[in-house]
Structure 1
């Protein structure tokens, strides 16, 4: 297969950031705050500042292989901290600011974190961890904490980045799985190198682009579309630190002339509630989305507003972006796209056999693959359970159900434990969710199976309405029946003020399933 190779040694700070600074210095980062403040950095600025911070961190006691928890909002210090850690060979552990002190303690103890880089506003969450942490750095400083700016000021800009082998650990992401404690996903330096493929093929980035991805800094998506992917292509990144405001999103797209925009499906839907015709989005040439199914309502609306079709993709924290709509492969609504250049993807059965086109099974990636994680942190058994040896080789099991059509496009069919079996029909929750989301009164929806003695399971929809909207369960059921096959309509609809979600914004279907089971038990009493 193509593009499987990578250099034997790779240090992102040296081989990407410093490379651009020396060979083609250009804008790398435009930061904007909600209050209007703005800062701009070239690649040479980033190269110099990260060298200074890396040298100070080494003097403070951080060395190659040490885990450093990085928890910041969308401020330039996040990119500086991440690249500085990579320059000195440390393993960065990106985390979202919404984590509680308990969440942080779990990660620090589990990963044996040696240092932390955060902001003054967050240091109270680390009070109980003082004995665990050797190096504590805060933007703005704090009692017992090193000041970020002071470390940069005292650093040595001639710092020589550490030699990092392709198999050396470089990143540790904690997934917010729907059950149990989060899993630590450890990636090698080669993984960061291979992020460039999805940036070039799915994001379609060049050194002339301005990329804006609105993901949180603690998500692996930030690596794909904010830091590693765009900078590997020499693209400039827009970084906005402010609350979500649909009108402000559109204003920023217009004002800065963003050319490539990456946002979640729900965000795109909310932008479409605005008078998009009042904004000049003519410089926007590509819009992409991943992480959740994008409804046809959002796709059609965005096409009317911008002339662009949203290019969806699929990836996991464990395997990075592996499937996507490339600019040269056409587009199929509701599809995840086709495998990106160096990935062999298939739909397999429980024995690891490749299924024919049109069959639904588990989505799998041919192994070995340099994009794949080194493994779950200190959990070899769980790591091994992700793989299966089939008749024609070894596969990494994603846990997602999928179907491939005759043209090679893959379609997501839910998680393995999400599929609803009602009267012998297998129903993917996303199919029902897409239908209900098309109703103008519906803001969010989560669909699960509710136990039923006669049918096995009933389709149960948990619905959040848009502000000021009123609609009955019967209205939504009639709407669904008119839009999809009769056996798919939700026989149970429950209205909620909000849906339970993980810290990364994914609907917790397990919580909804537990609620559906309890309600079914009450009905039988």
Structure 2
């Protein structure tokens, strides 16, 4: 098994396309390998080398994809959200102990201000006129000599923060071997070949886009066409230009694409996809079925998280083997169910745990979190995912929800995913997210935020009445809030934790 990013892309034919973008010529595999050599020389001349941390703040697109792949072979990459404010960059750049910041030439925004205050080297990325997609040059006033040896399997390729909804974000280091193992797992589970092309709409500061779209494609010698971000209005025009064989997205993106699919039926017919992939949040069974009918292609739901370098489980690709409502079968790492408080493996419902070469060696500088989230059993080291679930008789994993999102209503445990599934059966409901709101006597009560289908006149009482006929009374949302749009996080996922505060239903803590 290949264990570095360099080894992943080494065997592929040099003339084959690797990275593309709207109205740009393709960057070939030879071009990508040559770019890596240029980046290596440039960063070393700026005093940056193996083991140094390089924060990357670039817009979504081919340069971000190429910067990740090339810099990660030379140093440690730390992609950050370009939408952060100066105070957020102050925190993340300091927490990461980054040595340099890479930004587009001309960027003097909050990331640069924060990096300058911190005394970091600022590296500017420029794109020559007419350059192939992803090609760039680097410039900086910084000088010095970095470690000029290329990264090995045990070096950290990528550092990301967990999403800190309720506490300080934790630092997740992912080794070259973690990234390579996950890329190969995804390549194998999707049966990717050099003939495949991924249309990437995922943000490339997020593990989903970096590994599932970019690294897995490169592991197969395939190509990635990089959209400048996700825009449902431009998705089908991009599809027409890119001619992809697949794309990967979060459920909210798939739902937005479905809302515009009917008026773009000709493009769907002219651009047959081999499959669609969904990950990073549970895909409602109704949406999986609708996607399959709309695109006449298998819809592969996968289950991933940052600590596993993304993918852990995946629905099989073979026709008819996808189970709506299931996140698939183990796809690389070992997966078991553990007791939620005791360090032992069990049968039935409990906390999902994983073990394998794609799993981070541990959180950085956080022994308390490592003690809580890792344990030894059956001769293996297991990572607690924080998700509750169970395997069915066919070996498919069904998630009940995040343990910290399970609603505890006076001792009754309620799965938000179960309530979501019932409400989505209502003919007027397009999107839903069920969440907890504080209750003075019960501790927590059930609420749901809903987006209605276009033209619907359904009321909150209609939706509650529908739910009350289909589930036990204690599970029925006491409040149904009808919205034009449900607030989402930076990666497009709907976030249950904190939603009560965002909607003014609870005091902010």
* Same fold, TM-score > 0.5, yes or no: yes
Give the whole-Å Cα distance in 1 for the aligned partners of 2:381 and 2:43: 41
Map 1:291-306 to 2 at 5 A: 291-306=280-295
Contact 1:351 1:390 in 2 (8 A): no
Residue aligning to 1:406:
393
Residue aligning to 2:235:
249
Give the whole-Å Cα distance in 2 for the aligned partners of 1:501 and 1:268: 14
Residue aligning to 1:144:
none
Give the whole-Å Cα distance in 1 for the aligned partners of 2:375 and 2:504: 32
Give the whole-Å Cα distance in 1 for the aligned partners of 2:187 and 2:336: 19
Give the whole-Å Cα distance in 2 for the aligned partners of 1:471 and 1:98: 36
TM-fit CA distance, 1:375: 2.1
3-state DSSP of counterpart to 1:38: coil
Give the whole-Å Cα distance in 1 for the aligned partners of 2:85 and 2:438: 34
3-state DSSP of counterpart to 1:375: coil
Give the whole-Å Cα distance in 1 for the aligned partners of 2:104 and 2:248: 26
Structure 1: gaps (5+ residues): 1-5, 142-147, 154-159, 521-525
Contact 1:70 1:117 in 2 (8 A): yes
3-state DSSP of counterpart to 1:130: helix
Residue aligning to 1:360:
349
TM-fit CA distance, 1:131: 4.6
The two structures, once aligned, show a CA RMSD in angstroms of: 2.9
Give the whole-Å Cα distance in 1 for the aligned partners of 2:138 and 2:440: 65
- Count of aligned residue pairs for this structure pair: 489
Residue aligning to 1:179:
166
Give the whole-Å Cα distance in 1 for the aligned partners of 2:158 and 2:58: 16
- Of the three residues 471, 478, 487, the one matched with 2:465 is 478
TM-fit CA distance, 1:422: 3.7
CA displacement, residues 280-331 of structure 1 (integer Å, 9 cap, x when unaligned): 2553111110011212221121122122231111111001311111224922
Residue aligning to 2:9:
17
Residue aligning to 1:523:
none
Counterpart check, 1:335 vs 2:326: yes
CA displacement, residues 450-473 of structure 1 (integer Å, 9 cap, x when unaligned): 445676643211234456644311
Structure 2: gaps (5+ residues): 128-134, 141-146
Give the whole-Å Cα distance in 2 for the aligned partners of 1:343 and 1:402: 15
Contact 2:313 2:332 in 1 (8 A): no
Counterpart check, 1:350 vs 2:341: yes
Residue aligning to 1:30:
20
Comparing 102-111 with 479-488, greater Cα deviation is found at 479-488
Give the whole-Å Cα distance in 1 for the aligned partners of 2:341 and 2:379: 14
* CA distance 1:83–1:242, change in 2 (3 Å): closer
- Of the three residues 262, 278, 285, the one matched with 2:266 is 278
TM-fit CA distance, 1:175: 2.1
Residue aligning to 2:143:
none
Residue aligning to 2:203:
216
TM-fit CA distance, 1:96: 1.9
* CA distance 1:270–1:497, change in 2 (3 Å): closer
TM-fit CA distance, 1:233: 0.9
Contact 2:253 2:492 in 1 (8 A): no
Counterpart check, 1:41 vs 2:33: no
* CA distance 1:512–1:177, change in 2 (3 Å): same
> TM-score normalised to the size of structure 1?
0.85
* CA distance 1:515–1:212, change in 2 (3 Å): closer
